[in-house]
Amino acid sequence: MTPELQLAIETAERAGTLTLGFFNRKSLKVFSKRDATPVTEADRSAEELIRSAIASRFPLDGLLGEEFEEKPSANRRRWIIDPIDGTRPFIHGVPLYGVMIALEEEGSMRIGVINFPALGQLYYAEKGCGALMNGSAVSVSSISSIGEATVVFTEKEYLLDPPGDHPVDQLRLQAGLVRGWGDCYGHMLVASGRAEVAVDKIMSPWDCAAVIPVVTEAGGRCFDYRGDTVIDGQGLVSSNGKLGSVLLDALRGRGADPC
């Protein structure tokens, strides 16, 4: 295990323990950000812990997190942090939130760690080394039929938006099972073979960064609504390898039309 991955795992575990101290607390302080999304004292405390741990070990690396200003990189390496992915579920006492830490090098995602402290599940991956959950290897499913697939989603817009012919949106009508197990938890269901596709129509870089290494190292595919594997694109789709190839072929057949 590389020093970077070891640090990410240890820090995600420490931050996860911190968040559990706030979880289900009736007196939890919740604030509203400029974009009207909620943030809690737990989000901010966890990100401060993560930033401090990384800065003390790798002071030249950049830091991009959800709750505080970006620290520029001096060496083309950048850590990307989401201290609580699934803040709304966290506020409501739902245990499916995750602490996410990722490392980007030369514009490519190298490491992803996602800790679900309330579930006792820790997923992690480093490029070229496979994906693991609590130390055991995980892999995507081999289902190739959309009619047999389980599709999970986060935003209600995935179901409520007007009908369209986008291949990913068509899944809501064609899949065998469609459920709202969202945020990073849904993407880890794909990585561990318990769902075939996870859909997020609205994403930020810190929502995507840790997901991509884990899903791809588990044998899956990650891409946005245009078919690009980026952390700042239009949403994020995770899928197993077989259905991912089908969806990407369909997206390429649409040309440059992103809608």
- The residue range of the domain holding 65 is 3-129
Over residues 181-199, the mean pLDDT reads 97
pLDDT at 255: 60
Average pLDDT over residues 111-132: 98
Residues 85 and 168 in one domain: no
Q: Report yes or no on whether pTM surpasses 0.85.
A: yes
Tens of pLDDT along 238-254?
Answer: 999 999 999 999 998 87
Asked if 191 and 220 count as a contact pair (C-beta separation under 8 A), the reply is yes
Query: Region 188-196: what's the mean pLDDT?
Result: 98
Q: In sequence order, what DSSP letters do the residues of 48-64 get, joined into one string?
A: HHHHHHHHHH-TTSEEE
* Residues 111 and 164 both lie in one domain: no
Q: Which of 172, 177, 149 is nearest to 159 (CA)?
A: 172
Same domain, 28 and 121: yes
Task: Tell me if 136 is assigned to some domain.
Answer: no
pLDDT at 258 > cutoff 50: no
Looking at the structure, tell me whether residues 24 and 123 fall in a common domain.
Answer: yes
pLDDT digits (tens, 9 = 90+) for 197-212: 999 999 999 999 999 9
Residue 214 and residue 249 in one domain = yes
Specify if 258 maps to a domain: no
Domain-terminating residue out of 77, 103, 129: 129
